[in-house]
Amino acid sequence: MTARTGTSATRPLSDRSERRSLPVVRTADTHCPYCALQCGMRLEEDEAGQVTASPRGGGMCQKGWTSPELLDHPGRITTPLLRGEPVSWETALDHVAERIKAVWAEHGKDAVGVFGGGGLTNEKVYQLGKWTRLALGSKHIDYNGRFCMSSAAGALNRSFGIDRGLPFPSEDLKEADVIVLVGANPAETMPPFMRFLTNAELIVIDPRRTATAESAQLHLQPAPGTDLALANGLLHIAIEQGYLDHDYIDAHTTGFDEVRQTAAGYWPAFVERITGVSVPDLYAAARLMAGKKTAILTARGSEQHAKGVDTVTAWINLALALGLPGKPSSGYGCLTGQGNGQGGREHGQKADQLPGYRMINDPAAREHVAAVWGVEPDTIPGAGVSAVELLRKCGDEVKMLFVLGSNPVVSAPRATRVADRLKDLDSLVSFDFVMSETAQLAEVVLPVTQWAEEDGTMTNLEGRIIRRRSVRDAPGQARSDLWIMKELADRLDAPGTYSTNPEEIFEELGRATAGAKADYSGITYERLDEQSFQWPVPGPDHAGTPRMFTDFKFNTPDGRAKFIAVDHRHPAERRDATYPLYLTTGRVLTQYQSGAQTRLIDALDGEQFLQIHPDTAVRHGIGEGDWVRITSRRGSYTAAARLTVDIRPDTVFSPFHFPGAANANAAVSDVLDPISRMPEFKVCAVKIAPAAKP
C-alpha cells in the first residue's frame, strides 16, 4: 500500500532547531522550490553557511523542510563541464557559441532548439523565449509544462477565453460546501493544500484509493481514461433530476442545447458499463453537488490523456450547467503541478505563445512584443512544435538542443526513445545544478544557481505573483541562467538586449504583457515587497484580480462562457489478451517530478513499486515484494510489487520519479491530444510477469 499522509507530511523530519548552534547571519523570506502551491518559507543562514528552512504563513511538506540540503549537496555541479571534464566559463561558452554557429551554417537556425522548464522564474522564462527567438533565431522552443496543465489550459481558453488554473484564491475553498477532485491527490502531491479542503464534503474521482480518497465522503473509482464519460453521466443526471441553474445558463452561457443533446446519450447504466462506477454512486455524487456551493477541481489524472482537453471540457460543462463559475466559493479550477507551472506557460516558452498569453501568429501581438524587444515583427519566428514533437525531431531537423530546468530522459513519454534521440544530436547543452539523467548525456553542462541563491518572481496555482529572494551567493562558479543567456547572446552578436538583473527583466516583462490576458504591467518589485497580486494587474494602482468572473463576464467575444459538446473516446490503447491491464502513473509524497533533486535527499526515501490488486497478483503468480516486469508495446521497466485492494483489479500503478530500469515512462504512450499536444501518460495497456531482482 502507498504511504498515507498524516501530520508528518507538514512537519520537519527532525527538530532542526536542535541542530542550530551558530548565530544566524542572513535571512530571507521566499517560497518553496517545488510544487505550484509555493508555500511561504523563511530561510536562515548561519556563520558556517548552513541554510535551514521554516514555514512562513502556513505549512510545508517533507520536501520543503529538506530542500536546503540540496544547496551544498556533494552532487552539486559548481563548474562548467565539457564532455565531462571541468573547464572555464570562457572555454565552455566559446565552445557552445561555435557549436551554434556551425549548426546554423549547415542546417539553418531552426536546427537549434530549446526545451525549458516549469520551475524557472518568470524572468528566466521571459528572457528564454526572447533569447530563443532572437539570439538563436529559432522557432523551436517548448517546455516540460506541456506535460503538466496544457490540456486544462486548452479547455479553459475555449470555454472561458482565458487560462488561469484557479480563478479564485485557495482560501475560498474553505467556504465551499462540496469539493470535487478529479484525478488529484493533493494529500501526497501538495499536502499543505489539504487545509483548504477540511470544511467541505469531498468527492474524489480516482482509479486508486489514495490518501486523498481516504478522507472523502464519496470516492468514485472509474477505469483509467473514462473521466469524460463520467462527467457526461453526471450532467445527464443533473438534467434528469432538475439540478440545473437555468437562469445562469440563459444569462451567461452559449451552446447548452448541443451539450444537452450529447448528455442525453449518457444514461447512468451506460456510464456504469464504461466507467465501472455504479449507478447509485453516480446519483449520490450528483445529489451531493446539487444546489450547493461546489468547486470542481481537475488535475493530471483527468488531463494527461489523448482526449485531455475534451475531458476537462466535460467537467467545465458540468460546472456551467450547475451555475458555479463566478459564484462565491464555487466554480471550476485546475491544480497546477510545477512550481511555476502557471507563469511558465504565460511568458513565451510555449511553442505558439508570446509573453502575456499573446499568440505568436497574431499580427497585433507580434507588433506589440517586437516593439518592446526593439526589433521588427518579422524578426520573430513563427510557431514551433510541442514538447514531444520537439524531442522527436532531435537528431533530424533539430541538431542542437538546450535543456533548462528539465529532465526529459526520465519525465518524457517513451523515455528510452527520447534518450536515443538526444544521443543523436550534434550537441546537447544542459543548464542544471545536479547531474540529472539528461545532463549525463550532455556535451556541455553549465552550472546554474538554485532557488535560494537568486531573486525573481513565480506565479503559483492561483495566478498569484510572488517574490523569490536569495539568502546566499551561489557556490563555486555557478551562474544564473540569465547571465549565461546574455554571455551567449553577446558571442552571437544577437539582436535585442539581455539583462542579468531580474528586476530589469520583470519591468520589461510588464511592458510586454501590457494589455494582454496575463497582464503584469501594474506590478513592480516594490509593490511585491508589500503584497502578492493575482493577475491581471493592468495598472500601478490596480489591486489585482483575486477572483475572476465575479460579474459573470468571461473573456470570450460575447462575454459568455461556452458549453462545448464532447463525447467519450476510448484510450488510444485498450486492454486485450496480450496486454490485459491498464497502467496509470503519478507522484508519491517524498518525490517530485523526475526525482533528480528529491532522490538525492536521504530523508526522502523512495523506490519504484507496482501497486497491484491481490486478485490480479494471484493470477500472475506475484507475491508481496516480488519483482515484476511491466511491459507495454513501447518498452518495459521493473518494480517491486505492493499488493493492495486500493486499486482496481484491471489497473496497476507506478510513480514516474525513477530512472533507468525503473523508469515507468519507458512504457507509457506518447499519443498526443490534438489540441493541447499532451501525451497520454495516464493510461496504456501492459502485461506483467515475475522478474529477477535488477
Give the type of residue at 494: A
Q: What is the mean pLDDT of residues 504-520?
A: 98
Q: What pLDDT, on the 0 to 100 scale, is given for residue 694?
A: 85
Residue 19 reports pLDDT greater than 90? no
| CA-based nearest residue to 442, from 142, 97, 81 | 81
Looking up residue 658, the CATH number of its domain turns out to be 2.40.40.20
| CA-based nearest residue to 494, from 137, 79, 88, 4 | 137
Q: Which of 38, 70, 102 is the last residue of a domain?
A: 70
- Cell readout for 506 is 520583470
Q: Which of 300, 315, 335 is the last residue of a domain?
A: 335
359 bridge partner residues: 353
- Cell readout for 141 is 522552443
Q: What pLDDT, on the 0 to 100 scale, is given for residue 235?
A: 98
Residue 6 reports pLDDT greater than 70? no
Residue 12 reports pLDDT greater than 50? no
Q: What pLDDT, on the 0 to 100 scale, is given for residue 1?
A: 30
Q: How far apart are CA 335 and CA 341, in angstroms?
A: 10
Kindly report, residue by residue over 582-591, the tens digit of the pLDDT: 999 999 999 9
- Cell readout for 450 is 538554485
What 3-state DSSP class applies to 628?
A: strand
- Kindly calculate the radius of gyration of the chain based on its CA atoms and give it in whole angstroms: 24
Phi and psi torsions of 660, nearest 5°: 60, -135
| Residue 516 falls inside a structural domain | no
Kindly report, residue by residue over 24-81, the tens digit of the pLDDT: 999 999 999 999 999 999 999 999 999 999 999 888 999 999 999 999 999 999 999 9
- C-alpha distance from residue 650 to each of 159, 282, 473, 583, 687 (Å): 34, 20, 52, 9, 11
| Residue 75 falls inside a structural domain | no
Cis amide prior to 536 (ω within 30 degrees): yes
- C-alpha distance from residue 258 to each of 157, 328, 392, 562, 632 (Å): 19, 28, 38, 11, 38
Predicted model pTM: 0.95
Kindly report, residue by residue over 254-303, the tens digit of the pLDDT: 999 999 999 999 999 999 999 999 999 999 999 999 999 999 999 999 99
Residue 8 reports pLDDT greater than 70? no
Q: How far apart are CA 327 and CA 338, in angstroms?
A: 27
Contact partners, residue 17, CB within 8 Å, separation at least 6? none
Q: What is the signed CA dihedral for 192, 198, 202, 205, rounded to 10 degrees?
A: 10
| Residue 470 falls inside a structural domain | no
Q: What pLDDT, on the 0 to 100 scale, is given for residue 491?
A: 98
Whether residues 236 and 129 share a domain: the answer is no
- Cell readout for 105 is 551554417
Q: What pLDDT, on the 0 to 100 scale, is given for residue 9?
A: 37
- Split into its structural domains, the chain has a count of 4
User: How far is C-alpha 479 from the chain's CA centre?
Assistant: 25
Q: Please name the residue that has the C-alpha cell 514555514.
A: 55
| Parallel/antiparallel/unpaired status of strands 294-298 and 178-182 | parallel
Whether residues 142 and 154 share a domain: the answer is no
Residue 177 reports pLDDT greater than 70? yes
Q: Are the C-beta atoms of residues 214 and 4 closer than 8 Å to each other?
A: yes
Whether residues 162 and 299 share a domain: the answer is yes
Looking up residue 398, the CATH number of its domain turns out to be 3.40.50.740
DSSP symbols for 426-447: SEEEEEESB--TTGGG-SEEEE
Looking up residue 317, the CATH number of its domain turns out to be 3.40.228.10
Work out the angle at residue 99's Cα, subtended by the Cα atoms of residues 93 and 100, and round it to the nearest 5 degrees: 90
| CA-based nearest residue to 444, from 457, 426, 460 | 426
Q: What is the mean pLDDT of residues 549-568?
A: 97
Residue 569 reports pLDDT greater than 70? yes
Please list the alpha-helical segments (H only) found in 279-355.
279-289, 300-303, 308-321, 341-344
pLDDT cut 70: percent of the chain above it: 97
Q: Which of 301, 335, 369 is the last residue of a domain?
A: 335
Q: Rounded mean pLDDT of the chain?
A: 95
Kindly report, residue by residue over 452-498, the tens digit of the pLDDT: 999 999 999 999 999 999 999 999 999 999 999 999 999 999 999 99
Residue 657 burial (10 A CB sphere; 0-12, 13-18, 19+): buried
Q: What pLDDT, on the 0 to 100 scale, is given for residue 20?
A: 53
Q: Are the C-beta atoms of residues 56 and 40 closer than 8 Å to each other?
A: yes
Whether residues 101 and 63 share a domain: the answer is no
Whether residues 413 and 444 share a domain: the answer is yes
DSSP E strands in 183-293: the ranges are 201-205, 218-220, 253-254
Burial 204-242 (b: 16+ CB within 10 A, else e): bbbbbbbbbbeebebbbbbbbbbbbbbbbbbbbbbbeee
Whether residues 62 and 158 share a domain: the answer is no
| CA-based nearest residue to 324, from 292, 298, 297 | 292
User: How far is C-alpha 365 from the chain's CA centre?
Assistant: 26
Q: What is the mean pLDDT of residues 512-529?
A: 97
Q: How far apart are CA 663 and CA 595, in angstroms?
A: 11
Whether residues 227 and 123 share a domain: the answer is no
Q: Are the C-beta atoms of residues 326 and 552 closer than 8 Å to each other?
A: yes
Q: Are the C-beta atoms of residues 466 and 528 closer than 8 Å to each other?
A: yes
- Cell readout for 591 is 518525490
Give the type of residue at 19: R
Q: Are the C-beta atoms of residues 400 and 443 closer than 8 Å to each other?
A: no
Q: What pLDDT, on the 0 to 100 scale, is given for residue 13?
A: 42
Q: What pLDDT, on the 0 to 100 scale, is given for residue 607?
A: 94
| CA-based nearest residue to 65, from 192, 187, 186 | 192
46 bridge partner residues: 24
Residue 5 reports pLDDT greater than 80? no
Q: What pLDDT, on the 0 to 100 scale, is given for residue 17?
A: 42
| Residue 429 falls inside a structural domain | yes
Whether residues 299 and 439 share a domain: the answer is no
| Residue 668 falls inside a structural domain | yes
Give the type of residue at 248: Y
Q: Are the C-beta atoms of residues 145 and 524 closer than 8 Å to each other?
A: no
Q: Which helix (H) or strand (E) holds 490?
A: helix 481-491
The full 3-state SS of 317-328, as one line of letters, equals HHHHHCCCCCCC
Q: Are the C-beta atoms of residues 592 and 284 closer than 8 Å to each other?
A: no
Residue 3 reports pLDDT greater than 70? no
Residue 7 reports pLDDT greater than 70? no
Whether residues 646 and 592 share a domain: the answer is yes
Whether residues 185 and 240 share a domain: the answer is yes
Q: Are the C-beta atoms of residues 582 and 616 closer than 8 Å to each other?
A: no
In terms of residue numbers, what domain contains 115?
A: 90-147+342-448+481-511
Q: How far apart are CA 208 and CA 279, in angstroms?
A: 19
CB atoms within 10 A of CB 325: 27
Q: What pLDDT, on the 0 to 100 scale, is given for residue 4?
A: 31
Q: How far apart are CA 294 and CA 297, in angstroms?
A: 10
Whether residues 330 and 348 share a domain: the answer is no
DSSP E strands in 460-590: the ranges are 464-468, 533-534, 561-562, 581-586
Give the type of residue at 604: L
What 3-state DSSP class applies to 636?
A: strand
Kindly report, residue by residue over 134-163, the tens digit of the pLDDT: 999 999 999 999 998 899 999 999 999 999
| Residue 553 falls inside a structural domain | no
Listing from the earlier edge strand, what are the strands of the sheet with 81-82?
Answer: 85-86, 81-82, 444-447, 427-432, 400-404, 112-116, 141-143
- Cell readout for 220 is 468514485
- Cell readout for 616 is 490480479
| Residue 456 falls inside a structural domain | no
| Residue 191 falls inside a structural domain | yes
- C-alpha distance from residue 128 to each of 369, 488, 657, 667 (Å): 14, 12, 26, 31
Residue 379 burial (10 A CB sphere; 0-12, 13-18, 19+): middle
Q: How far apart are CA 86 and CA 180, in angstroms?
A: 52
Whether residues 318 and 347 share a domain: the answer is no
